Structure 1
Amino acid sequence: MQTAIITGGAGGMGLATARILGRDHAVVIADVSQDRLDSAVEELRSEGIDATAVVCDITSRDSVDALIATGNATGELRAVVHAAGVSPLMGDASMIARINAIGTVNVVEAALEVAGEGFAVVNVASIAGHMTPKALQPARTFRLALTDFDAFAERLDRRVNRGPRKMRSGQAYSTSKSFVIWYSRAMAAAFGAKRARIVSVSPGSFDTAMGRLEEASGSGKLLDYAALKRFGRPEEVAEVLAFCASDGPGYLTGTDILVDGGTKAGLTLKGMIAMARG
């Protein structure tokens, strides 16, 4: 049986994606909390899904390698949906950059080592990654991720810790998610050489624990600009994540898909400035 790994799979978008992929895959869900994993696996198994739990710290390459090894041991590993991440209110700038950006590099590089024909990686980015103009993104820092991991980590940390302290976590989130979009595109050729794919998906405001945590500081305000004036449901973005990870879109790679209820379509420069000012 084919296997799919879902990081951040114990709740929210990750668990919803595991339910869909679990229809025709064995699923390995990863999280930092054993209790959350135990509860999620119990739910999935009660629905007839072959589910395995792995405690994984995505900021540790050794931990990620162990996760990939478990996926391979469970069956033919065919997809990785990387949904693990943190939002601005969940930590300081350094923590956010480390989990969202460094963690993504660890997951993608480990996946590339085992990728073969038909393999797919789907990284969860964010509409926040589209909020910073490209001219203001640290492109030179991003490029270091392809050649010098340690220098990338050090320079990224310095970058996100600039400016007023109260704004750093939000800036770190936007920068780290911009990186996820950039990196997914930059790694497409490496995966293509193995006849594999990599894409990113950028959710807008969703009704998850993380989304509601950020409601007052950003995710709720985005609805003012959205075409659909509501929070998205986890199942709605999970359908996109699972589709991207499936065999169906075999020519889809090196791009980002916005699932934001039409928010970016209605967000003008004036609106972006207003959002930034809070």
Structure 2
Amino acid sequence: MAAYQNGLLIIGAGGMGLAIARRLGAGQRVIIADYSEAVLNSAANTLRNDGHEIETQTVDVSDYESVEKLAKFASGKSRLQTVVNTAGISPAMGTARQVYEVDLLGTANVIDAFLEVMPSGSSLTSIASIAGHMMQKAISPELEKHLATCPREQLLTHEAIDLEGSTAMAYGIAKWGNVVRVQAAVRKGQEHGVRLNTVSPGVIKTAMVRKELESAAGDQIRHMIKESPVSRAGCSDDIAALVAFLSSPEASFIDGADFVIDGGFSAASRFRE
């Protein structure tokens, strides 16, 4: 296989990452990365059984050196045309500190490391959440600017970021931080010819959401599904279809955008009496 075949890197090998790899992987050198070797091996075996040639790497997105190592590995294996960062944990999966480290700092680490190695014409898509949009009004302009622009080493030092606080609050702040961090990075992306966008899913029935359904937030999530104009939860393939478009030449004029994909829940809630 040619050393500089077009490459696809998926960070986060859970259900969403697996669906995106399956949707985009044909004809590309596919690399998947995850913190969990078990999740990584399961996803790799599934994709290999579908006929894809897969390489795997473990990564801790909260550790810049680990992300930088992944960036060097992936860019050395291919012309890294598409990077999709799905890595994240939900409020039920860890502490507030862990949510901030993985979901917020992790995204900043990926942006900083991969803009240094991705070629002109490539695409970097980060998965955020409508939880960020729901939290936006509670985020001050000063905190928002910090989330968007401060050096990654200082990202978790703001007084409004309580590393010992509410995991739900941490998740919402982190996910809005993903959106504005990507928006603030488009000028640097311009220097390298890389487009950056975010996708903000609503309730997508991945293993992560199934875990949330068993938590204290379960009733709220069921309410969101019930109140959505598209009266179902989403599936990973819904997200994969949007990411495929954003990663394609047809989306070459789309940069620094955030796409809410939530079955209409946010729109229907905005003007509810």
Distance in 1, matches of 2:94 and 2:17, equals: 20
CA distance in 2, matches of 1:92, 1:191: 32
Contact preservation (8 Å) 2:126, 2:178: yes
TM value normalised by structure 1: 0.89
1:130 to 130, 133, 136: 133
Say if 1:43 and 1:161 are closer, same or farther in 2 by CA, change over 3 A: closer
Instruction: Using the TM superposition, give the Cα deviation of residue 8 of structure 1 relative to its aligned residue in structure 2, in angstroms.
Output: 0.6
Q: Which residue of structure 2 lines up, in the alignment, with residue 175 of structure 1?
A: 173
Select 1:83's aligned residue among 83, 86, 98.
86
Letter in 1 for 2:174: S
- 1:113 deviation in Å? 0.6
Q: Which runs of 5+ in 2 are unaligned?
A: none
Corresponding position of 2:185:
187
Q: TM-score, normalization: structure 2?
A: 0.90
| Residue deviations 1:128-155 (CA, integer Å, cap 9, x gap) | 1110244x31443443453433332221
The 2-side partners of 1:22 and 1:122 are apart by 15
Gap change, CA 1:161 and 1:269, over 3 Å in 2: farther
Does the residue aligned with 1:84 lie in a helix, a strand or coil? coil
CA contact (8 A) 1:21 1:242 kept: yes
* 1:218 aligns to 2:216 (yes or no): no
Cα displacement (A) at 1:161:
4.5
1:203 aligns with 2:201: yes
Q: Distance in 2 between matches of 1:243 and 1:232?
A: 17
Distance 1:269 1:5 in 2: 39
Q: Describe the superposition over 1:166-224 as per-residue Cα deviations: whole angstroms up to 9, x where unpaired.
A: xx110110100010011111111211222220000001101110111122153322113
Whether the 8 Å CA contact 1:122–1:200 is kept in 2: the answer is yes
1:14-73 deviations in Å (ceiling 9; x for gaps): 010000111132111111111221121111111111211111000011110111122112
> What is the one-letter code of the residue matched to 2:142?
R
Amino acid in structure 2 at the alignment position of 1:2 = N
Distance 2:25 2:256 in 1: 25
- Mark the CA change 1:91 to 1:217 in structure 2 (over 3 Å): closer, same or farther: farther
Of 8, 11, 16, the residue aligned with 1:4 is 8
Label 1:217 to 1:25 Cα distance change in 2 as closer, same or farther (>3 A).
farther
Distance 1:69 1:133 in 2: 34
Distance 1:217 1:183 in 2: 31
Cross-structure match for 2:244: 242
One-letter amino acid matched to 2:117: V
Deviates more, 1:28-37 or 1:239-248: 239-248
The question of whether the paired residues in 2 share the 8 Å contact of 1:26 and 1:50 is answered with yes
Give the whole-Å Cα distance in 2 for the aligned partners of 1:120 and 1:62: 22
Matched, 1:102 2:105: yes
The corresponding residue for 2:266 is 264
Summarize deviations over 1:251-275 as a string: whole Å, max 9, x none. 111110011111101114779xxxx
* Contact preservation (8 Å) 1:142, 1:152: no
The alignment of Structure 1 onto Structure 2 pairs a total of residues equal to: 264
Letter in 2 for 1:107: V
Query: Structure 1 vs Structure 2: percent identity of aligned residues?
Result: 30
SS in structure 2 of the partner of residue 114 of structure 1: coil
Contact 2:136 2:176 in 1 (8 A): no
The DSSP-based 3-state class of the residue aligned with 1:184 is: helix
Q: Is the 8 A contact 1:204 1:219 kept in 2?
A: no
Instruction: Find the partner of 1:233 among 232, 235, 249.
Output: 235
Matched, 1:118 2:121: yes
Unaligned runs of 5+ in 1: 272-278
